[in-house]
Amino acid sequence: MLLSRMKDGQPEIFATVQGEGTTAGLPSVFVRLADCNLKCRWCDTKYTWDWTSHDRAKETVEIAVEEIARRVLEAAGDGVTNAVFTGGEPLLQQDELVDLAARLREKGFRIEVETNGTVLPTEAFAACVDQWNVSPKLASSGNADRARHRPSMLQWFAARPNALLKFVITSDEDVTEVSELAMALGLPRERVLLSPEGVDPATLAERSRWLADRCRTHGYRLGTRLHVFLWGSERGR
C-alpha cells in the first residue's frame, strides 16, 4: 500500500485523538494513505497528492499490509481501539484496506474511514467499516463539478446510517450549497456537520463563532478541528 511519510521518513501511522466529526476527542490510530483524485485549494495535506509541489518519492512509501497492521498495534498500545483510515483518498486503495481492516478488527479495533465521497465502496470493504466520515467538496474547493460531485455515490452514503457528511465551510454560499445538497439527498440534519476552513487556532476560533450562528439557524452540527487547536498544522497529529 502507498502511505505518506512523517517528517522523519517513517510511514504516517500515529496515535492521537480524533480531531473532527462526531468522534472528536476519541483516542485513535491514524493511517494516512497517499494519492487523491481531487485537488482542493485549501487542502492541508497536499504532501499526500500534489506532486507538482512535493516530491512523491520523498513523501510516500510502499508498505505491506501486515507491516501496517503491526505498526498500528504498536502505536495503539493498550489504550486505543479506534483506527482511522485517512488520506489523500483512502478508497483509491480499498482492496488492500479490506485486508488491513480485517486484521485490525480481529484485534478488537473499530474502523473509521475518511473519504471525499466520489469513490463507491465495495461490499467487502463496506462490511469492515464502522463509521464513514464523508467530506463532499463544495464549489469553493476549486474542483470541477464533474470531479467533486457524484450524486450516485453520495446517495449510497446517505442511505447508510453509519455515514456522517462533513462539509468545509468558507462562506454563506457554501452553507446554501450544503442545504440544497442535504435536501436532495434527504439527509437528516443531525447527520450534517459544518466545519470552518482554517489551519491555525486563531482563524478557526473566529470562523467557528461565525459558523455557530449558521448551524443554529439551520439545525446542523458544528464541527471543530481539535487537532489544529492543540497542535496547529504539525504533521503526525
- CATH, residue 28: 3.20.20.70
- pTM for the complete prediction? 0.95
| Residue numbers of the domain that contains 36 | 2-166
Decide if 33 is inside a domain: yes
Residue 111: all three cell numbers together? 474502523
Decide if 215 is inside a domain: no
Decide if 83 is inside a domain: yes
Decide if 203 is inside a domain: no
pLDDT at 105: 98
Long-range contacts of 101-106 (CB under 8 A, 24+ apart): 101/125, 101/128, 101/129, 102/128, 103/65, 103/66, 103/69, 104/69, 104/72, 104/73
Decide if 180 is inside a domain: no
Decide if 68 is inside a domain: yes
pLDDT at 237: 72
- With a pLDDT cut of 70, the percent of the chain lying above it is 100
Decide if 226 is inside a domain: no
Residue 218 sits at φ, ψ, to 5 deg, of -100, -10
Structural domains of the chain, count: 1
Q: What is the pLDDT of residues 116-156, one digit of tens each?
A: 999 999 999 999 999 999 999 999 999 999 999 999 999 99
Residue 190 sits at φ, ψ, to 5 deg, of -70, -10
pLDDT at 233: 72
Decide if 79 is inside a domain: yes
Q: What is the pLDDT of residues 46-85, one digit of tens each?
A: 999 999 999 999 999 999 999 999 999 999 999 999 999 9
